[in-house]
Amino acid sequence: MRDINHFIGGESFTGASGRFSDVFNPNTGEVQARVQLATDSEMDRAIQSSQVAFESWSQVNPQRRARVMFEYKRLIEANMQELAEMLSAEHGKVVADSKGDIQRGLEVVEFACGIPHVLKGEYTWGAGPGIDVYSMRQPLGVVAGITPFNFPAMIPMWMFGMAIAVGNTFILKPSERDPSVPVRLAELMMEAGAPAGVLNVVHGDKSAVDAILTHPQVHAVSFVGSSDIANYVYQLGAANGKRVQAMGGAKNHGIVLPDADLDQVVKDLSGAAFGSAGERCMALPVVVPVGKKTADELRERMVAEMATLQVGVSTDAAAHYGPVVTAAHKARVEGWIDQGVKEGAELVVDGRGFTLQGHENGFFVGPSLFDKVTPDMESYKEEIFGPVLQIVRAASFEEALELPSKHQYGNGVAIFTQNGRAARDFAARVNVGMVGINVPIPVPVAYHSFGGWKRSAFGDTNQYGMEGLKFWTKVKTVTARWPDSDLEHVDSSFVIPTMA
């Protein structure tokens, strides 16, 4: 049995807790490895390693840090196939999707390569008589990221790409369900030229999370996961004086107006709802057709499209999606399908009990489609996080707009239409953080930023882009006066200074 170790101080580190978590092969249901779970002592060791590294790394000039990021980008690209296969073997998503996972993280690393430019401060010459004012952004120190199973490459790189580039050192606590890729990412960071301790990986469960949130030498924490845990992370981290951004769950809606190109909509919905077995916080699990004619036609086309979907093992290049991550998650998804039936929604396509010949013990769930879902149903209110698409019919544009706006989650939303005025109005009024117009998965590009509203995000700052720069740095402002000569003096003043 292969053991997956921590990565501390630039090398593999064997913990002493004696506690392990099983890592499954989702395609077969078999345990393929064990990952160590850290003690507080091991977390402290990693934090001390990062603290030592911070003293020198924070003093490296931005251009040299950027060179490390450029080399890191090159190494990720050179090892793309290896990383994708490793990711698929533990997560279950197909290899092509794993490459997309890595690439979207790499785009933030690309943005971080330009850190010398974005770190430039502000300067005002002559703000007052002989007075100049300037500001600078400085790193926080040791910072941390707690990342989910569904994007074991992308989300860690979203976090540490910016955090390390600005001069921080980073503790990564990845999901224990698919931990191998995060360790490999840290190894490649060392190979790229980052000093030992700049990026440490510590595996663990709730005790490791709590150790991060309460340790006095950790200054900021970024989290992605379920909303209840995101709220817990935010509250405990903030109570311990840390800067926290905690991204939670989602229930993204796709609004389909009567003038939409339904051929394209069906293709978009198929990929957005069922890609990666629906295990995406930016999946599109709810579609809201406006008007009965639109709803009936969309349902008919969706059923036909779903019949063409191929569910297969993660290494099958012809498969559209693979298994979910664990047996427990499969049971959870199928439990939500049961709940939808009990609540009176019409189960049009049933993905429960799906098996793949030769892989009967794999964690596969077939594509499922509900119609006539209503906002009072728990299966609509909560995140299913599986290959399940729900149709919620709306009689008007206003009713369709109200559904995502009033939902407890506000991560992403999409509208499908050829009417520019309607799209513009929708984008301005909808109470959701990220909007797609004829774009089913509106994850912003790396030089913008990612973040939802309501119970989809806790904290005031989004991830990556310039928002990431703000989150991982603190601003220092200097007001300097240089007298014309040694003989020039200014009388004492007992009032607040002004530049008048």
What pLDDT is attached to residue 10?
A: 96
Domains, the chain, with CATH or none: 2-248+456-478 (3.40.605.10), 253-437 (3.40.309.10)
Catalytic residue among 246, 269, 281, 388: 281
What pLDDT is attached to residue 223?
A: 98
Question: pLDDT of the chain along its 500 residues, tens only?
Answer: 899 999 999 999 998 899 999 999 999 999 999 999 999 999 999 999 999 999 999 999 999 999 999 999 999 999 999 999 999 999 999 999 999 999 999 999 999 999 999 999 999 999 988 899 999 999 999 999 999 999 999 999 999 999 999 999 999 999 999 999 999 999 999 999 999 999 999 999 999 999 999 999 999 999 999 999 999 999 999 999 999 999 999 999 999 999 999 999 999 999 999 999 999 999 999 999 999 999 999 999 999 999 999 999 999 999 999 999 999 999 999 999 999 999 999 999 999 999 999 999 999 999 999 999 999 999 999 999 999 999 999 999 999 999 999 999 999 999 999 999 999 999 999 999 999 999 999 999 999 999 999 999 999 999 999 999 999 999 999 999 987 766 566 677 777 777 66
What pLDDT is attached to residue 486?
A: 61
SS3 436: strand
Q: Write the DSSP symbol of residue 276.
A: G
Q: By the 8 A CB rule, do 320 and 274 touch?
A: yes
Give the number of other Cβ atoms within 10 Å of residue 19's Cβ. 16
* DSSP collapsed to 3 states, 467-491: HHHHHCEEEEEEEEECCCCCCCCCC
pTM: 0.95
What pLDDT is attached to residue 244?
A: 98
Q: By the 8 A CB rule, do 431 and 410 touch?
A: yes
Is 113 in the active site?
no
What pLDDT is attached to residue 499?
A: 65
Which stretches of 161-210 are assigned E, i.e. beta strand?
169-173, 199-201
Burial of 228 (0-12, 13-18, 19+ CB in 10 A): exposed
What pLDDT is attached to residue 488?
A: 61
What pLDDT is attached to residue 490?
A: 66
SS3 483: coil
User: In this structure, what token pair is assigned to residue 152?
Assistant: 């074991």
Where on the phi/psi map is residue 457: left (φ > 0), alpha (ψ -120 to 50), or beta?
beta
Q: How far apart are the first and last CA of the chain?
A: 74
What pLDDT is attached to residue 26?
A: 98
**Gyration radius from the chain CA atoms:** 25
d(CA 124, CA 132): 6
